[in-house]
Structure 1
Amino acid sequence: MKLVSQFKSFLTDTVNLNQTRLDALESNVEAIKNFVRQCDWDPKIKSFYPQGSWAHDTIIKPVDGGEFDADLLVMVEPVKDWTAADYVKSLGKAFADSSTYGDKCKTWDYCVTITYAGDRKVDIAPCVLGRQIPGRLEVCNKPLDTFERSEPVGYTEWLKKQNGYSGGNSFRKITRLLKYLRDIKTTFTCPSVLLTTLLASHIHWTDKDSDSFANVPTTLKTVMGRLDDWLQARPAKPVIANPHLTSEDLASCWSEVQYSNFRNFINKYRKWIDEAYDEPDRSASITAWRRIFGDDFAKGEEVLAKASVSEGTSLVGRLLASTAAHLDELVDAVANYGVRILPSDFFAPPHMHAPRWPRAETFTRNVQVVAKWYGSKSAANGRPLQREEVLHRHGGIWFDVTVNGGQELPAGYRVQWRITNTGIMAIALNAGRGDFYAPQSGNRRWEELSYRGVHLAEAFIIRRGDDKLVGQSDPFPVIIE
């Protein structure tokens, strides 16, 4: 189903940067403009021009509750005998010498950043007009001391034109939605300017007032379908030119691996979007949209109809085996309906070992498993896993533990991990496990994603003084397709 009103609420309440923060940004930017005009910076200022997500009206609320940023260009006339580095260095010095901005500023390669702690950043970049060719715009690369051609005004105007074809600002809205998807899933890498360009390039003048762009979910389905078709026809990384500066390849930041990963996940999410859109049952459709955008979509609505639960439970009953060698189709059923359809005895298969420590008089279940996916055990960067997220057989998970809703485990206690595999593949290879394992790094435990199935990770807390069991987490389900 389209669920147009739910998309409107989701954008307003969850995705969009709230108006109070935008108003604060506007106020800060005006103050910065006034400072630059009045300070002793030598270049003659022609104008200021916003760029990036702020200028394009595609800025979103940071999903981690952190800072957002905005970009501001200072359009200036050339200064005789100045190099590119001079513009950036001198602007940085002007801010650094200021009593207002001195403790808030930092000079980077192209810009000076003003940070308003915990909320927002404003990047101010010099842009030189007509240094050698009338009308040409150039930004300043401080480390290389070179001028680089830029077309921020033309690019922004192009995006406005593409948005006009989509109707109802739906291009801007789906861009925000897909940036939000990128940030909550963290399954692919795509800088905002590249993602925005890819989406906008699949809107055409013939789309204006067409049914394919009638509302936000329809626009999302249309553009994602077109983008996926375009990507699937290009197995190797293509050149993605800036539409107003064709010499600039926006895809140059991607490796072939990153492009391939982006291509695969767009294909996956396109299918999920089609399924959610085409689902005729309201409850099932909300569940499908939540699979894409998380539980904040249609927040507060009860979505699992009794008939759906009954159907899923009935299906699971046919797939379960008493030996835990469950049929492969169980993974698909759990992916569609959630682990809530699994019977209680699923979480206590016959090969699972019971705790060997005596239970303390005071025992808590306020123990949480925290899971992050990494490409390898030694990889530096990972991403948090959502509960019941479906994973590929690639990489692995570092499991960690907290207590009382996020606190570190106090001194005097240790962790043991019970790792239990299920499914026909793991059981056939005698890899059901179900025993207890020590952490490998602090309280953390590494596990490879090796077997298709629904597997379980549990944390047990043991008091060092008397070796008694004082706490246990709920099972963390690991769903591997």
Structure 2
Amino acid sequence: MKLVNQFKEFLADTVNLNQTRIDRLEERVETIKSFIRGSDWEPKISTFIEQGSWAHDTIIRPVDGGEFDADLLVKVHTVNGWSAAQYVKELGRVFLDNGRYGDKTVIYDYCVTITYADDCKIDIAPLVMEREHQGTLEVCNKRKDEFEESQPVEYTRWMREKNGYSGNNSFRKATRLIKYNRDIKKRFSCQSVLLTTLIGHRIEWSDKDSSAFSDTPSALQTIMGRLDDWLQAHPDKPAVPNPALPAQDFADLWNDTQYANFRNFVNKYRKWIDDAINATTLSDSIEKWRKVFGDDFAKGETVQKAEALAMQRANAMLLESAAHLDSLVDSVIDFGIAILPARFKNPAHKHAPPWQSAEHVSRNVQVSAEYSNHKTDRSYPVQNGEALPPRGGLWFDVRVNKFQLVPADCYVRWRITNTGAVAIALKKGRGGFEHPTEVNRRWEDLQYHGVHMAEAFVIRKSDDRLVGYSEPFYVVIK
């Protein structure tokens, strides 16, 4: 089960950097900017640029008493005669010589780090503009005393573009969750810029408005599945180019052992995530999600009481006419189709099969579905009861005995039943039998808010007798 609402609460209460810390960070950064501008540091300042997880909005709350850090670039004009190391050393000097910052300052290879008493670090790095060529930007490697080309604004633009392909910022939220898993489990090593780049490559423009990124758990499952597939296809460490500067290989941040370990753990977590989403009860799903994210996931949930309450609410919201209250959809999204009472699948407007039954009628008929923006576009598999947007449509397909095609001596009819107040009021409840759109597949547009059903019926051609039918495939339209 996806547990969309539980993920929303988990992000807000545990994963996301809370607003108090964000406000404090922004205040400190503004103070640092003012300090640098007023200092005797020689470079002429052009502007300041946010970088890293702070700029990408993927920064997370520190775990286990750790620290969160924010990256600030100081874009400056060239100082004639200065070496790369001099920009960093001189910036460090002005902080070390100051009473307010002296005991908080450490000078590293590329930046000056200010560490505060609570759980916050701010890394300040010089970014030299147009030192030799117009338009170039370079960070400064103090240890090697070398200038290195950088394109931080382009990288941030790339990340924001990637997030724009997802619905409800799901890509950005999934990125935070993967970083949280890394930090809380401590089972693999992967610097944030490398991890973020790997994640960023898992979504493309063609994913826009797809169910694969329609909500946070869907995005998380999609990213981890695609990342695992890519990693398993590369037993040896592959290149991970900086999308803003392809000559730079972020895979250099790994050694071969770290890469192999990362590859193994992504494969393991991918399976755990699949298991959690495929769980059929609330308690089982929560238990499996906690295996991925620890006991803070759904920590306020009393599993048996919550599930029982949801079932009671579903019964109360189901009206005889099948014009159920809109809030039923929210309950199904939260707790799954298992909460629907038995009478839900038999509304008054659903037609009975018109065919006589054969001697034996098989129940081993399975319906599957794939979501697509349009009939001819690329489609994506969806699960029974998965929440979908009121746009695009589904291709329904049918198999017998789990994977076999419907025998050639039979034909298929589809019973499509709409529920929900809007569908019923507009007399779109249907409940009758429809011909396939092509071969045995049926296309249905997604329009009306509600919990709807698609069922496949297999009829023998020789005598028009019913030989098999499926359980309902539930379509939840948000």
TM-score, with structure 2 as normaliser? 0.63
CA distance in 1, matches of 2:114, 2:185: 29
1:183 aligns with 2:183: yes
Q: Report the CA distance between 1:300 and its aligned residue.
A: 2.0
The alpha-carbon deviation at position 267 of structure 1 amounts to: 0.8
TM-score (norm 1): 0.62
The one-letter amino acid paired with 1:51 is Q
Name the structure 2 match of 1:39: 39
Partners of 2:50 and 2:159 lie apart in 1 by 14
Percent identity reads 63
1:231 matched to 2:231? The reply is yes
Per-residue deviation, residues 419-470 of structure 1 (Å, max 9, x unmatched): xxxxxxxxxxxxxxxxxxxxxxxxxxxxxxxxxxxxxxxxxxxxxxxxxxxx
Partner of 1:104: 104
Q: Match for 2:230: what amino acid?
A: W
1:336-375 counterparts in 2 under 5 A? none
Structure 1 residue matching 2:126: 3-state secondary structure: strand
Q: Secondary structure at 2:121's aligned position in 1? A: strand
Task: Name the counterpart of 1:289.
Answer: 289
Matched, 1:30 2:30: yes
- Mapped to 1, the partners of 2:273 and 2:67 lie a distance apart of 29
2: CA distance, partners of 1:275 / 1:103? 49
Amino acid at match of 1:13: D
Shift of 1:100: 2.1
Structure 1: how far apart are the matches of 2:27 and 2:246?
35
Supply the AA of the counterpart residue of 1:216.
Answer: T
Query: Does residue 1:79 correspond to 2:76, yes or no?
Result: no
For 2:196, the equivalent position in structure 1 comes to 196
SS in 2 for 1:300: coil
- Where 2:110 maps in the other structure, the secondary structure is coil
Once the two structures are TM-superposed, the CA of residue 12 in structure 1 deviates from its matched residue by 0.5
Partner of 1:272: 272
Gaps of 5+ in 1: 308-481
- Using the TM superposition, give the Cα deviation of residue 271 of structure 1 relative to its aligned residue in structure 2, in angstroms: 0.8
Contact 1:287/1:304 (<8 A) preserved? no
Q: In 2, are the aligned partners of 1:47 and 1:75 still within 8 Å (CA)?
A: yes
1:4 Cα deviation after fit: 0.3
CA distance in 2, matches of 1:189, 1:97: 35
Please state whether the residue corresponding to 2:135 is helix, strand or coil.
coil
Task: Classify the secondary structure of the residue corresponding to 2:302.
Answer: coil
Tell me the distance in 2 between the aligned counterparts of 1:258 and 1:102.
36
SS at match of 1:166: coil
Q: Say if 1:284 and 1:303, in contact at 8 Å, map to a contact too.
A: no
Offset, 1:304:
6.8
- Match of 1:124, SS state, is strand
- Written as runs of structure 1 = structure 2, the 5 A alignment for 1:239-254 is 239-254=239-254
Contact persistence 1:137–1:150 (CA under 8 A): yes
Asked if structure 1 preserves the Cα contact closer than 8 Å seen for 2:91 and 2:112, the reply is yes
C-alpha distance in 1 between matches for 2:5 and 2:33: 39
Give, in whole Å, the separation in 1 of the partners of 2:28 and 2:246: 34
* Pair 1:131-2:139 in alignment: no
- Return the alpha-carbon distance in structure 1 between the equivalents of residues 195 and 142 of structure 2: 27
Distance in 1 (CA, whole Å) between partners of 2:204 and 2:46 is 34
Asked if 1:115 corresponds to 2:115, the answer is yes
Contact map agreement 2:52 2:71 (CA 8 A) in 1: yes
1:258-407 to structure 2, matched below 5 A, reads: 258-303=258-303
Q: 2:358 maps to which residue?
A: none
Aligned to 2:471: none
Contact 1:284 1:304 in 2 (8 A): no
Return the offset for 1:104: 1.7
Contact 2:44 2:76 in 1 (8 A): yes
Q: CA deviation at 1:99?
A: 2.4
Partner of 1:5: 5
The number of equivalent residue pairs is: 307
SS at match of 2:165: helix
Query: CA offset at residue 115 of structure 1?
Result: 1.3
Q: In 2, distance between residues paired with 1:161 and 1:211?
A: 18
Counterpart CA distance in 2 for 1:186 and 1:108 is 24
The separation in 2 between residues aligned to 1:99 and 1:265, in whole angstroms, is 46
Contact 1:287 / 1:303 at 8 angstroms: preserved in 2? no
1:196 corresponds to which letter in structure 2?
T
Q: For 1:54-73, what aligned pairs fall within 5 Å after superposition?
A: 54-73=54-73
Equivalent residue letter for 2:134: P
User: Deviation string for 1:4-26 (max 9, x for gaps)?
Assistant: 00000000001111110110000
The answer for the alignment partner of 2:371 in structure 1 is none
Secondary structure of the residue aligned to 1:237 is coil
CA distance in 2, matches of 1:304, 1:271: 25
CA-CA distance at 1:143 after TM superposition: 1.5
Moved more, 3-12 or 254-263: 254-263
Alpha-carbon distance in structure 1 between the residues aligned to 2:133 and 2:210: 42
Does the 8 Å CA contact 1:166/1:208 hold for their aligned counterparts? yes
Deviation at 1:118, TM superposition (A): 2.8
CA-CA distance at 1:67 after TM superposition: 2.1
Look up the match of 1:151: 151
Counterpart secondary structure, 2:9: helix
CA-CA distance at 1:123 after TM superposition: 0.8
Q: Deviations over 1:9-52 (max 9, x none)?
A: 00000111111011000000000001111111111100000111
**Distance in 1 between residues matched to 2:144 and 2:250, nearest whole Å:** 20
Q: Does 1:14 align with 2:22?
A: no
Q: Deviations over 1:109-144 (max 9, x none)?
A: 111111111321111100000001111110111121
Which structure 1 residue ranges, 4+ long, deviate > 3 Å from structure 2? none
Q: For 1:238, give the aligned amino acid.
A: P
Are the equivalent residues in 2 in contact too, given 1:240–1:250 (CA < 8 A)? yes
Q: What's the counterpart of residue 162 of structure 1?
A: 162
CA RMSD of aligned residues (A): 1.5
Give 5+ residue unaligned stretches, structure 2.
Answer: 308-478
CA positional deviation for 1:68 = 1.3
